[in-house]
Chain A
Amino acid sequence: MVLIAPLGFLGDYQLFRLTLIATYALALLGLNLVMGFGGQISLGHGAFYASGAYTTAILMTSAGVPYWATLPCAGAAGAALGFLVGWPALRLRGHYLALITLALATAIPQALKCKALEPWTGGVQGVIIDKPGAPFGLPLSPDGWLYLLALAITAVAFTLVANLLRGRIGRAIVAVRDHTLAAEAMGVHVARLKTRTFALSAALTALAGSLGALETEFVSPDSFTVFLSITLFVGSVVGGVASIGGAVAGAVFIVMVPPLANSVSRAAPGAVYGVILIACLYLMPSGIAGLLRRAAASSWWRKRKRGGEHVA
């Protein structure tokens, strides 16, 4: 309810920014699943984000599919790509996966410019799409409707992932991260679990990409350079990698800090961004979510929470 309230009093631009935050939170949720809970480093989630964005853009403009029907397609495309990449790559450990995903992120903008695909991808020109209006005669602007849509999808995704992580599969994912051999001995099929986790993670990020494309009404190879992957990585770490709430905090960081850096110094926004980033990591080594958790743990609330866990 609190989250729907902004529809009442915020202007379109503010709603647009909130929508971006919700979208990046969804993308970071996917990334946190692999990095925080799976314990692997991905520097290539921008590629999955791009795959979702392009799926939506191409289906809408070339095939005339309505925007809402492209959302599940984008998720499926991301899952497929994630599976294909994850299947061989996850047999590698540690830094090697980081490198392979980085290679993917570097390759994607080039691949999108490929001449054979140009009738659909529009090459460097990209694809312009129309922002969908509110259905059922709802009294909302297109930005208001997209905010609601992104909020709903992100909320559902967060709930599902939270449930997943609390259950058997979640414990297996964490067990593989903490002690692979022991997990294997307990009967966890490590390779299969890792691949599926990776595919789910890619699907969530691709879904976010699809929403992102609807919000910005445009996709092009320059929209999804390797910097996007790095940005997502930064958001994930700053927010708090091994937490679900961290994804939201990271998304706020991604959307808020670059304009802030620019307003501090136009001559060197990159340097200001770097200083803010270092300050964040120094002051909050376990991310924004970690800081909030510690703050909470030092209050009376901690006892109640502990008690609750015992009952569970």
Chain B
Amino acid sequence: MLRRRRLIAAAAGGLAAPWVARAATMPGVTKTSIRIGQTMPYSGPASAYGVIGRAHAAYFDMLNASGGIGGRTIELLSADDGYSPPRTVEETRRLVESEGVSFLFNGLGTACQTAVRQYLNGRKVPQLFVSTGADKWADPEHFPWTVGLQPSYRTEAQIYAKHIQREAPAAKLAVLHQNDDFGRDYLAGLRDVLGPQYDRIVIRTASYEVTDPTVDSQVVSLHESGADTLLTAAVPKPAAQAIRKVAEIGWHPLHYLTNVSASAKAVMVPAGAENGRGIIAGVYFKDPTDPRWANDPGMETWRSFARKWAPEADQADAFNVYGYVGVLTLKHVLQQCGDDLSRENIMRRAANLQDLEIPVLLPGIKVNTSPTNFHPIRQMQLARWTGTSWELFGDVLEGSA
């Protein structure tokens, strides 16, 4: 299809009407549609995240039923990569070369998206709002066609460090972290803010492997260091174990917990709801299970959309809200583009978002990008576990530059 259109445009040569010539520079775009691509782990070890892609598809269904964006319907080709980087490469190449998509949207997984970053940047295909928390996506100098979305782990750690500096400047901090990029981004973020104080404040760090059966010995060792503050940068299972162990040994540190594990269902309840009382975590979008948002207009809009267009989706699953954040951000970018849907313009608009408000983000948290800032969401608010739910407190905080 696409190739034929290109041929026609080329053959028409000097006779070509202006819109034909323009169409040739706007891959994946016709007068009535925009074709976009995405890879998601619908199968394999991370298939729980597949919810996100299905939420996108449902939203575009709704949008298309009411005429699409600027008179163009959105055709989302969402491919399964099974969370395996070689398949991400294969599927991404199919989407770009064979399906002729305009750009890639919200592809998921750090390793998977890393595998195609060079390829997409080489071909100048926008890799918009990748769905991973690694900090490396914000590198406009080397990868001007790639931009992330959510607060990076490093940004999050910067926020915790700022809070520690303000609330407990004499803190003795211990860090429990996963032994990979995810865990180490937290150490980097602490160092960004604490600078020369890092060695005085961070008195001990301990790492664990994802495969470790428990983190008990790490927690005991951190306790013995004499620390009075603890940052746990762990995925749900070891995070729950750490919370339980901290309570068991009678340690009462000021305890910060990564956003990844700030889940009542997956972490706090299994850890023993009372054990986690007082734990602080950074959050940025509205928790669908939080009664505080029961009558919130933003969440009501999302709920009525989800009820009608994604009736099979679990409304308690926060990934659905996350998917909604991404799709609304994209919708805004495409609306801004107007009739110029060239890849250059799409990327330019994605890199110039100013104080965009997404109704399911926490009040005060806005999406901002600029040609030098590829961290769209860089604010969080802290929440404290009360024993039954997360209670927001304090102001919206921002990571350092």
Assess whether B94 is in contact with A128, with CB atoms less than 8 Å apart.
no
Let me know if A240 is at the binding interface, CB within 8 A.
no
Query: A62–B57 Cα gap in the complex (Å)?
Result: 42
Let me know if B298 is at the binding interface, CB within 8 A.
no
Query: A258–B90 Cα gap in the complex (Å)?
Result: 11
Let me know if B119 is at the binding interface, CB within 8 A.
yes
A contact residues around B179 at 8 Å (CB): 113, 115
Minimum distance in angstroms from A145 CB to a CB of chain B:
16
Known contacts: A126-B114, A220-B114, A222-B111. The answer to whether A262 contacts B85 by CB under 8 A is: no
Selected contact of A262 from candidates B54, B79, B112, B114, CB within 8 Å: B79
Selected contact of B118 from candidates A128, A227, A267, CB within 8 Å: A128
B contact residues around A110 at 8 Å (CB): 209, 211
CB-CB contacts of A289-307 with B at 8 A, as 1s and 0s? Answer: 0000000000000000000
Closest to A107 in B: B211
Selected contact of A269 from candidates B43, B90, B98, CB within 8 Å: B43
Assess whether B93 is in contact with A13, with CB atoms less than 8 Å apart.
yes
Within 8 A of A (CB), among B144-184: 179-181
Closest to A218 in B: B115
Assess whether B84 is in contact with A11, with CB atoms less than 8 Å apart.
no
Within 8 A of B (CB), among A180-222: 212, 215-218, 220-222
A contact residues around B80 at 8 Å (CB): 258-259, 261-262, 266, 269
B contact residues around A273 at 8 Å (CB): 43
B contact residues around A115 at 8 Å (CB): 179
Assess whether B42 is in contact with A216, with CB atoms less than 8 Å apart.
no
Let me know if B44 is at the binding interface, CB within 8 A.
yes
Minimum distance in angstroms from A127 CB to a CB of chain B:
10
Let me know if B217 is at the binding interface, CB within 8 A.
no
A contact residues around B89 at 8 Å (CB): 215-218
Assess whether B209 is in contact with A227, with CB atoms less than 8 Å apart.
no
A contact residues around B93 at 8 Å (CB): 12-13, 16
Assess whether A216 is in contact with B114, with CB atoms less than 8 Å apart.
no
B contact residues around A133 at 8 Å (CB): none
A contact residues around B43 at 8 Å (CB): 258, 261-262, 269-270, 273
Minimum distance in angstroms from B27 CB to a CB of chain A:
14
Let me know if A223 is at the binding interface, CB within 8 A.
yes
Minimum distance in angstroms from B277 CB to a CB of chain A:
33
Minimum distance in angstroms from B152 CB to a CB of chain A:
15
Minimum distance in angstroms from B30 CB to a CB of chain A:
20
Assess whether A225 is in contact with B45, with CB atoms less than 8 Å apart.
yes
Assess whether A259 is in contact with B118, with CB atoms less than 8 Å apart.
no
Minimum distance in angstroms from B168 CB to a CB of chain A:
31
Let me know if A153 is at the binding interface, CB within 8 A.
no
Query: A222–B43 Cα gap in the complex (Å)?
Result: 14
A contact residues around B112 at 8 Å (CB): 222
Assess whether B91 is in contact with A259, with CB atoms less than 8 Å apart.
yes
The binding surface of chain A is classed by DSSP as helix
Assess whether A12 is in contact with B79, with CB atoms less than 8 Å apart.
no
Query: A11–B50 Cα gap in the complex (Å)?
Result: 30
A contact residues around B98 at 8 Å (CB): 11, 13-14
Query: A115–B184 Cα gap in the complex (Å)?
Result: 12
Let me know if B395 is at the binding interface, CB within 8 A.
no
Query: A17–B91 Cα gap in the complex (Å)?
Result: 10
Let me know if B47 is at the binding interface, CB within 8 A.
yes
Within 8 A of A (CB), among B78-115: 78-80, 82-87, 89-91, 93-94, 96-98, 109-112, 114-115
A contact residues around B133 at 8 Å (CB): none
Interface size on A, residues (CB 8 A): 36
CB-CB contacts of A246-260 with B at 8 A, as 1s and 0s? Answer: 000000000000110
A contact residues around B119 at 8 Å (CB): 217
Assess whether B79 is in contact with A259, with CB atoms less than 8 Å apart.
yes
Let me know if B323 is at the binding interface, CB within 8 A.
no
Known contacts: A13-B93, A124-B181, A273-B43. The answer to whether A216 contacts B82 by CB under 8 A is: no
Selected contact of B47 from candidates A217, A258, A270, CB within 8 Å: A270
Query: A222–B41 Cα gap in the complex (Å)?
Result: 13
Known contacts: A13-B93, A227-B84, A262-B80. The answer to whether A218 contacts B114 by CB under 8 A is: yes
Selected contact of B84 from candidates A126, A225, A259, CB within 8 Å: A225
Closest to B94 in A: A13
Let me know if A125 is at the binding interface, CB within 8 A.
yes
Among B85, B110, B119, max chain A CB count under 10 A is at B85
Query: A16–B96 Cα gap in the complex (Å)?
Result: 13
Known contacts: A124-B180, A217-B89. The answer to whether A266 contacts B114 by CB under 8 A is: no
Within 8 A of B (CB), among A113-150: 113, 115, 123-126, 128
B contact residues around A20 at 8 Å (CB): 90
Let me know if B53 is at the binding interface, CB within 8 A.
yes
Assess whether A222 is in contact with B181, with CB atoms less than 8 Å apart.
no
Selected contact of A212 from candidates B78, B86, B97, B111, CB within 8 Å: B86
Query: A253–B57 Cα gap in the complex (Å)?
Result: 28
Known contacts: A13-B98, A220-B114. The answer to whether A258 contacts B85 by CB under 8 A is: no
Write 28 A-B pairs (CB below 8 A) sorted by A numbering.
A13-B93, A13-B94, A17-B90, A115-B179, A123-B180, A124-B180, A125-B111, A125-B181, A126-B85, A128-B114, A128-B118, A216-B115, A217-B118, A218-B85, A218-B114, A218-B118, A220-B114, A220-B115, A221-B111, A222-B83, A222-B109, A223-B85, A225-B84, A262-B42, A262-B80, A266-B78, A269-B43, A270-B43
Binding site for B on A (CB under 8 A): 11-14, 16-17, 20, 110, 113, 115, 123-126, 128, 212, 215-218, 220-223, 225, 227-228, 258-259, 261-262, 266-267, 269-270, 273
Of all A-B residue pairs in the complex, the 8 with the closest CB atoms, nearest first, are: A13-B97, A262-B80, A222-B111, A218-B115, A216-B89, A270-B43, A124-B180, A220-B111
* Known A12-B93, A225-B84, A262-B80; 7 more pairs at CB < 8 Å: A14-B98, A110-B209, A217-B89, A223-B115, A225-B45, A262-B42, A266-B42
